[in-house]
Amino acid sequence: MIAGEACETIAGTLVAAATTTKGVRAIEHDGQAIEMPYAWLLSDSLRIAGALQIRGLNPGDRVAIVVPEVAGFVRAFLGITTAGLVPVPLFPPGQAGDVSTFTRQSRDLLIASQASAVVASADVAPLLDLEHASTSGHVCQLLTIDALAEGPALLVPVPVTSDRPALIQFTSGSTAMPKGVVLSHANLHANLSAIAGPAGLAIRPDDVGVSWLPLYHDMGLIGALLTSIYARNDVVIMSPVLFLKRPTAWLDAISRYRGTVSFAPNFAYELCLRRVKPSQIAALDLSSWRVAGCGAEPIRCDTLESFADRFACTGFRASSFVPSYGLAEHSLAVALATGGVNVDTVDSARLVRDSLAVPASNGAANGHAVRLVGCGRPFPGHEVHIEDETGQLLPDRHVGRIVARGPSVMAGYFEDPAATAEALHRGGLETGDLGYIAEGQLFVCGRTKDLIIRNGRKYHPPDLESSIADVDGIRSSNVVVFGISHVNEADQVVAVLEGRASQTSRDIVDQVRRRVRETVGLELDHVLLTPPGTIPRTTSGKVRRSETRARFQAGTLLTGGRISLDAPPGSR
Amino acid sequence: MAGATHNVRVTFSGLAYTSDPVRGGSAPGAEAGSSADRFERDTLDILKRLSRHPIDPGPTSELLADLGFDSLQVLELVGELEDHFNIAVPLNALTHIRTVDQIVAEVRRLVGQQEVAP
């Protein structure tokens, strides 16, 4: 093994971490803790890698992981990468709807990634549709961790050059048309060293990571697990199910294990405010928490301020907040703001009307002001630009498309040159987000793409539309779903259906809500049943989603009828 | 998170109706009462407490479809049930349970297991 080169692969960082006494503590959904020192994980992954090799898998082959258990996922991931194979993490069942949805979606992702094998836990295996995941000339084998742990062990990780794929992350693109982000070992290494480095979190040897984030998601996998292996630090990784059942479990773990670095989306801080009881707060000591990262969805000042107030008695410091911005196509992080929350209070009317972030005269007291949270500066060796539609650079405080460049930008989408060309052009990554730069800091304030974000999870309108189209009496060509993102609020989700008014209208609306809850676990904020001809279309008959949204927001969608919205204050 | 009730009233072609995100899911003959044991009673109480809307759950009410629970609230419910009945709900149960009576049956089974266990 060539030392310098190997350290830039995931397996190389594990070999280096194995020389320490540090490791991963997995806390499962039932609270059971499993300690896995890096030295043990290295020998375990050499055994798993050997077992994968004798099953005929060759370096570069894709191996999917569908393992809800934390320890099992970590072992599978490291074993696969140690064998020189490409891990493809998939979401487990029970996270995004009913069992049949899981079976269908996981099959589609296995096909899209052309996986040669899938490592699944015993409970999940029967829910996988492998028969149809194996395409012509291509068989997908089912493997379990227990079978793989027998070895025979390899002596060293299979050498891989750093330009080879390290990981395929299916967080981008709809499930109807899945897009797998291909990250090379060099991409990951660039992002990990930026995150951990002096311009990032300035990770120290005694830092302790704590995370409840799913490992099939970039923030949990790269931000918690791989960053900790890279930095050779202890990390506590708990099941997201445990956190969602009992949010206090997250804070308990930080308190008990003296956690110093822990990231979560905005909604997790909200959940703690809503569900951690005063008696539970009294037992916490959060004074060790020096990096309280917040990212993966729009960040609300109110949430961070309320959290800092409520948990001040535990020793939590507001200056620990690290608002962050990133996306899977940029490995993980684009920018992060250490040193606390930097708030920019701007005139909301000018922001919407003129795409200008003009500081509001009367501060937050002004009803037309909106407070945005700064996400810091780009990392060394990386660039973030704000561009207009034509690719021209925009000056400070002008809102435009956020375009990122540098070594963390993905190689492309797996086997999808068209989507890759759309995301990567003029040498930059089209993030699909809107923002501006002020005093060197990046502020994110909207999206150009149709993505809907709720509770840190991303939803694609075509997926919601296709689940609605299953409802009797609705044709897929007569449905439009879109999100309305508010600067400081959770996204609202609107479905517009065309149909004929009849006694069954009410039933159809109920069925639509029901269907979306069942398949994707999402509550629609507004469902509108409208007369035929309401939804704007292209000349070829395709629905125009952005135009539908614009008309809905302007109140001009129903020219013949009236819409009245009886919604709570703040949701417009 | 916008969890409050959003009623949308649409009027066209002389027809007006309100879409309400949540319906009571009580099935015929499902009135809570005489035969309800503590598992059922307590489970229904917890469901009502966690719902963001007034609900009237019956045995066949489906959590996601009828009672308007999102995936986050389902896990909150599991946490509350675990604390209340001092049980541990297995991970794979979450993928199969849909209705209120399935929840009650699972709670009853898990409490039974606990009482039998040494």
DSSP string, A257-313: TT--EEEE-HHHHHHHHHHS-HHHHHT---TT--EEEE-SS---HHHHHHHHHHTGG
| CA-based nearest residue in chain B for residue A270 | B1
Domain A451-566 CATH (choose: 3.30.230.70, 3.90.1200.10, 3.10.20.30, 3.30.300.30)? 3.30.300.30
Q: Which residue has the tokens 């997790």?
A: A268
Considering only CB atoms, A490 lies closest to which of B2, B15, B83, namely B2
Smallest Cα distance from B15 to chain A, Å: 7
Instruction: State whether B2 and A489 contact (CB < 8 Å).
Output: yes
pLDDT at A174: 63
- For CA atoms A257, A261, A267, A273, the dihedral sign is positive
| Better-scored residue on pLDDT, A561 or A45 | A45
Lowest mean pLDDT across A210-214, A479-483, B70-74: B70-74
- Show residues of chain A in contact with B69, CB under 8 Å: 517
How far apart, in whole angstroms, are the C-alpha atoms of residue A349 and residue A358?
Answer: 10
The CATH classification number of A10-245 equals 3.40.50.12780
Q: Which of A252, A302, A243, A305 is nearest to A282 (CA)?
A: A252
pLDDT at B27: 39
Ramachandran quadrant class, A185 (left: phi over 0; alpha: psi -120 to 50; beta: rest): alpha
Q: Is 90 exceeded by the pLDDT of residue A246? A: yes
Contact at 8 Å (CB) between B75 and A245?
Answer: yes
Total count of domains within chain B: 1
B114 touches chain A (CB under 8 A): no
Lowest mean pLDDT across A249-263, A286-300, A480-494: A480-494
Ramachandran quadrant class, A57 (left: phi over 0; alpha: psi -120 to 50; beta: rest): beta
Give me A346's structure tokens. 């701007």
Give me A442's structure tokens. 């990046």
**What is the pairing mode between strands A369-373 and A452-454?**
unpaired
Smallest Cα distance from A457 to chain B, Å: 11
Is residue B4 a part of any domain in this protein?
no
B75 touches chain A (CB under 8 A): yes
pLDDT digits (tens, 9 = 90+) for B68-100: 787 788 889 999 999 999 999 988 887 778 889
Q: What's the whole-number average pLDDT of chain B?
A: 71
- Per DSSP, which regions of A95-189 are E strands? 117-120, 141-143, 165-172, 179-184
B21 touches chain A (CB under 8 A): yes
- Show residues of chain A in contact with B98, CB under 8 Å: 98
Is residue B17 a part of any domain in this protein?
no
Most confident option among A189-198, A555-564, B21-30 = A189-198
B16 touches chain A (CB under 8 A): no
Greatest pairwise CA separation for chain A in angstroms: 74
Instruction: State whether A518 and B65 contact (CB < 8 Å).
Output: yes
Is residue B6 a part of any domain in this protein?
no
pLDDT at B16: 29
**A–B CB contacts, 8 A cutoff, strictly below:** 126
B78 touches chain A (CB under 8 A): yes
Q: Which of B107, B117, B58, B65 is nearest to B87 (CA)?
A: B107
pLDDT at B29: 38
Mean pLDDT, residues A152-156 taken together: 95
How far apart, in whole angstroms, are the C-alpha atoms of residue A451 and residue A174?
Answer: 9
3-class SS at A497? strand
| CA-based nearest residue in chain B for residue A69 | B91
Is residue B108 a part of any domain in this protein?
yes
Considering only CB atoms, A96 lies closest to which of B71, B78, B96, namely B71
Share of chain A above pLDDT 70, in %: 92
Instruction: State whether A123 and B92 contact (CB < 8 Å).
Output: yes
Considering only CB atoms, B79 lies closest to which of A68, A97, A246, namely A246
pLDDT digits (tens, 9 = 90+) for A432-457: 899 999 999 999 988 777 778 887 77
Q: Which residue has the tokens 């703690």?
A: A272
Is residue B64 a part of any domain in this protein?
yes
pLDDT at A566: 33
Instruction: Reduce the secondary structure of chain B to three states and give it as a string.
Output: CCCCCCEEEEEECCEEEEECCCCCCCCCCCCCCCCCCHHHHHHHHHHHHHCCCCCCCCCCCECCCCCCCCHHHHHHHHHHHHHHHCCCCCCCHHHHCCEHHHHHHHHHHHHHHHHHCC
Q: Residue B2: which pLDDT band, with cuts at 50, 70 and 90? A: very low
B112 touches chain A (CB under 8 A): no
Query: What pairs with residue A447 in β-bridges?
Result: A433
Task: Give me the interface pTM, i.e. the ipTM.
Answer: 0.75
Q: What's the whole-number average pLDDT of chain A?
A: 88
pLDDT at A95: 56
How far apart, in whole angstroms, are the C-alpha atoms of residue A304 and residue A375?
Answer: 14
Instruction: State whether A241 and B94 contact (CB < 8 Å).
Output: yes
Contact at 8 Å (CB) between A170 and A90?
Answer: yes
Q: Which residue has the tokens 């059922």?
A: B40
CATH of the domain at B87: 1.10.1200.10
Contact at 8 Å (CB) between A66 and A121?
Answer: yes
Which residues form the domain of B39?
Answer: 31-116
Is residue B91 a part of any domain in this protein?
yes
Q: What angle do CA A233, A238, A239 make, to 5 degrees?
A: 145
- Show residues of chain B in contact with A94, CB under 8 Å: 91-92, 94-95
How far apart, in whole angstroms, are the C-alpha atoms of residue A231 and residue A393?
Answer: 36
- Show residues of chain B in contact with A531, CB under 8 Å: 12-13
Is residue B1 a part of any domain in this protein?
no
Give me B17's structure tokens. 């109706």
pLDDT digits (tens, 9 = 90+) for A344-357: 999 887 887 788 99
pLDDT digits (tens, 9 = 90+) for A295-336: 988 898 999 999 999 999 999 999 999 999 999 999 999 999
Smallest Cα distance from B85 to chain A, Å: 14
Question: The whole model's pTM is what?
Answer: 0.83
| CATH 3.90.1150.10 for domain A266-449 | no
Share of chain B above pLDDT 90, in %: 27
pLDDT at B82: 94
Considering only CB atoms, A505 lies closest to which of B6, B17, B23, namely B17
To test the contact with chain B by mutation, choose from A517, A525, A527 the residue with the greatest count of B C-beta atoms within 10 A, namely A517
Helix residue ranges, H only, A396-522: 417-423, 461-468, 505-520
First to last CA, chain A: 60
